[in-house]
A = this chain, B = another copy of it.
């Protein structure tokens, strides 16, 4: 699993083949099938191992601060293995490793006074936003991503896309980077706060 993760991180999911991994390990291809029933099971193991890497932040500060801490950790973990996101998508993420963060988030939100349903729905919203943010963060520095938007947006016909032409810089800024991540998180947490029972 370790060698497979390294291979996926450095050369992409497409570079991970049973044959290649076996060669990397200096072992016959079929040997792998003694440890994983098929490739699917190997991919599951990679995802599980990555989920176990997530470190939970210290339980200090307001509930908003703590939930933000969890979201940041998830984002970091996902961006440490950018190619891994493509593996994860098809899978349910109901393993203990993946649910440790859900447990922590539920504890924080329940302690803040949210009922069970509000806490579950609220954290789901935070998680989905965080995952999509990481999924749409292209590899490389955020400046590069913004630059690509800067290049593509002005090519649109201005008659049909007047609003986009008027806000090219702002739209490019919203495509990646810490500022956008924190801003979206704040919107969701503000919405939650407005619903909190006094």
Does chain B have a CB within 8 A of A34?
no
Place the interface of chain A in its size category. Answer: 35 or more
Q: Which residues, 87 to 106 on A, are CB-close (under 8 Å) to B? A: 89-90, 92, 94, 96, 99-100, 102-103, 106
Asked whether B163 lies within 8 Å of A107 as measured between CB atoms, the reply is: yes
Measured CA separation A131–B132 after assembly (Å):
7
Does chain B have a CB within 8 A of A55?
no
Asked whether B171 lies within 8 Å of A102 as measured between CB atoms, the reply is: yes
Measured CA separation A135–B192 after assembly (Å):
23
Residue in chain B with minimal CB distance to A182: B121
Does chain B have a CB within 8 A of A24?
no
Does chain B have a CB within 8 A of A184?
yes
Between A and B, 5 residue pairs with Cβ closer than 8 Å are: A102-B164, A107-B163, A120-B171, A128-B128, A188-B188
